[in-house]
Structure 1
Amino acid sequence: MQFFRDLNLSAATAGFVAVLVGFTSSVAIVFQAALSFGATPEQITSWMWALGLGMGLCSAIPSLVLKQPVMVAWSTPGAAVLATAGLAGGFTMPQAVGAFMACAALIVLVGATGWFERAMNRIPMALASALLAGVLARFGLQAFAAAQTALPLVVLMLLAYLVGRRWLPRYAVPITLAVAVAYVVARGQFNGGAVSFALARPVFTIPEFTLAALVGLALPLFIVTMASQNLPGVAAIRAAGYDMPVSRIITMTGLATLVLAPFGAFALNLSAITAAICMGEEAHPDKSKRYTAAVACGALYVLIGLFGAAITGLLMAFPKELVLAIAGLALLGSIGGGLHAALRDDSHREAALITFLVTLSGVVIVGIGSAFWGVVAGALALFVQQYGAARNAS
């Protein structure tokens, strides 16, 4: 099979690192969101089942078909919105599921009509690259900030990465991960007691549609998912040089959410962070074969869905500093590439720099994250500069 001929160790490792980073960095927020609606342990497991299968299948299948790394994730800012709004509004699980389905219908609408892709086509490449660099740079900062609580581990990982980049650049990230895991196990910092083997069972919740849930849950979930997830997700695709049918992929994520929402899939969307891991040169030196990293990532997500508690416990058993450090190191190439593409054009440099800094700031205004406001600020700066130049020229 073509896939197995194209797959190599670095691609498989990139897929694992993407899952490790994407899952452990935000699974606690998803748990909080479920609990805010009064979820039972069985329903929380069902959420993991639905999200794991949704992310896995929506990543692996299109990647195999397109031979390009399609990366789909859950909406982390969406989960944060749900966790806050669920407690404040006193919504029930059936009402939440109704809101998930309404949000999914809106995602299908903007995907099928092509509205979102047409809007993205109007954003200059410099601003899109600055947006991506700003999103990823936060993980780079967190990698080195982790040294405050785990200095030996972070220093060891940095040295392993630098040595790997010097003599075995294709395998720098796998080497770093292997060294880190060996160190953690040797130091007794791997929490193996968190692992319990059990198959996840889906729990169906009959949706209840209410105006309050539509306004208080569905619309905010839709807005933050499109602005804070799909927007940088498209930027990651374009920065990596891939030409994907964005509208069809977004429509697919909406349909998958619609089908899996009664089981707990609140919102599926394009990924930016994990996409950068699987789309970079570290994943595979051959750009046409990096889709194997996305397929490996998707397969692992499916396992998370099927085995729920067991895989969750395994991934959560790693120290958080290891997760932060491996994420930052794996994204160094993507951060550098994004900054280079953003700043190399003199006419767009200042606007791109504003986009980068606003995005990096992490500012949240009216519940919408910094990725959206970074593009707004950069576009405004570019408009003012170009409008002024046109006036002066005349």
Structure 2
Amino acid sequence: MATFGIAIAGLTAMGASSSQTATALAVMLFGYGVLSIGLSVWLKMPISVVWSTPGAAFLASSQILGLTFDKAVGAFLVSSLLILLTGLWPALGKLVAKIPPQISAAMLAGVIFPFVVATVHAGVDYPLLILPPVILWLLLNRFIPIWASPVSIALGFVLIALSPEVNDISQGSFLPEFSFVGPVFDVAIILAIGVPLYLITMASQNLPGLAIMSGLGYQIPSGKVFRATGLGSALTSFFGGFGLNLAAITAALNADEHAAKDPSRRWIAASFGGVVYILFGVFAAPFAAFVLAVPRELLLSLAGLALLNTFAGSLRTAVSEDGLRLAGVATFIIGAAGITVLGIGGAFWALVVGVLIWLFTKKR
């Protein structure tokens, strides 16, 4: 539920209509299902494909740009082609990996910061709707952390659904039209959305996903996976999809001993997960209609709760090394400031400034 809400917030911030939002969700879920099944069966490894929740949060935080959806789709397509190029040309992936993780994490923390703050504001403005999920999240995070976000977010949506804050769902209900969105390429928008989305996807999903799978004993052929997900992302972008990428946490769930005793058979769990994604795609539209009826500030507050652990981890990484602390802090501040310069959003400038400070201050 939380990832659905963040994805919907991201798409609407990019200028998508209700029908375009439903189409994008359905197409991405179908894409995740097909790729999870296809890659797992082909490689006989438990490979799970999802959308990037941090990437969706980045899109939602970029509403200040006031985009039309066709320009956003152009940026989505460029981001997807960069993933495909990474699979075809490994040197690009190595170049991205050279960016210090402290800077990438700081950029991600800056992107997520507005959501975390939204939880605080909504807790003050709507205490009966937001404080119970927050308290439940704290309790579950102490004892069964893996369930903390989904259960508390579910409680939040139930409380909101029972409150008078929800708009008339019948006015916003819709079915996906699966209409083609012609991409419009704008250099400023590509730099503001496409390039940061690619870097966030690589830094927060693809590279950690490869590392997690390696730790579990699976040497994923990254070139094949990036080519498949990059091509799949490019195809779905014509319907509003903002990306298909290797899962990180979900991948671990399908690749450990709980999925199957025999490691050589754990690909079956990931394949079954693909079937579940496809079923979710069938019912994506009515759920999207409900989420779109929720006031934006409440939706962002629940998203902030879901992203709190990600924010904490990113902030910890950003300041983890003395020599990179200044670059990390500067990257975080610029990313969180919500600025726009020359029509390009703060995430791009945060990355540029962070890399420049790192290059200037690092020891020769």
Residue 67, structure 1, aligned to residue 35, structure 2: no
Tell me, yes or no, if structure 1 residue 21 matches structure 2 residue 6.
Answer: yes
Q: 1:234-383 alignment to 2 at 5 Å?
A: 234-237=202-205, 238=207, 241-242=211-212, 248-260=224-236, 264-265=239-240, 267-268=242-243, 270=245, 302-303=278-279, 305-307=281-283, 309-383=285-359
Which one is further off, 306-315 or 112-121? 306-315
SS in 2 for 1:380: helix
Q: Is the 8 A contact 1:278 1:293 kept in 2?
A: no
Q: CA deviation at 1:231?
A: 0.6
Write the distance in 2 (CA, Å) between the matches of 1:85 and 1:187. 31
Q: Which of the numbers 30, 36, 42 marks the counterpart of 1:53?
A: 30
1:162 is aligned, of 138, 142, 151, to 138
Task: Choose 370-379 or 191-200, whichever is displaced more.
Answer: 191-200
Gapped runs of 5+ residues in structure 2?
215-219, 260-266
- Counterparts of 1:107-146 in structure 2, within 5 Å, are 108-146=84-122
Q: How much is the aligned-residue C-alpha RMSD, in angstroms?
A: 4.6
Native 8 Å contact 1:103 1:218 kept in 2 = no
Could you say what secondary structure the match of 2:99 adopts?
A: coil
Q: Which amino acid aligns with 2:303?
A: A
Give the letter aligned to residue 28 of structure 1. Answer: T
Give the number of aligned pairs. 343
Larger radius of gyration: 1
CA distance in 2: counterparts of 1:321 and 1:276, whole angstroms = 28
- Name the amino acid aligned to 2:155: V
> Deviation per CA, 1:260-301, whole angstroms, max 9, x where unpaired?
455x24652559xxx788689xx89x7997x99998997676
Between the aligned partners of 2:37 and 2:73, the Cα distance in structure 1 is: 26
Q: 3-state DSSP class of the match of 1:333?
A: helix
| Alignment pair present for 1:385 and 2:361 | yes
Amino acid at match of 2:130: V
Q: TM-score, normalised by structure 1?
A: 0.66
What CA deviation, in whole Å up to 9, does each residue of 1:210-268 have, x standing for no partner?
A: xxx7xx62655654454221211222135675366655444334322444455x24652
| Unaligned ranges ≥5, structure 1 | 1-15, 36-40, 88-95, 208-212
Deviation, 1:368, is 3.6
Residue deviations 1:338-377 (CA, integer Å, cap 9, x gap): 2222222212211121122222223333444333322221
**For the structure 1 residues 183 and 134, does the alpha-carbon distance in structure 2 shift closer, same or farther, using more than 3 Å as the test?**
same
CA 1:174–1:343 in structure 2 vs 1: closer, same or farther (change >3 Å)?
same
Point out the more displaced range, 228-237 or 107-116.
107-116
Do residues 230 (structure 1) and 198 (structure 2) align? yes
Percent identity of equivalent pairs: 24
* Cα 1:22/1:308, change in 2 over 3 Å: closer
- Aligned AA for 2:94? R
Question: Deviation of residue 330 (structure 1)?
Answer: 2.3
Preserved contact between residue 106 and residue 222 of structure 1 (Cα < 8 Å): no
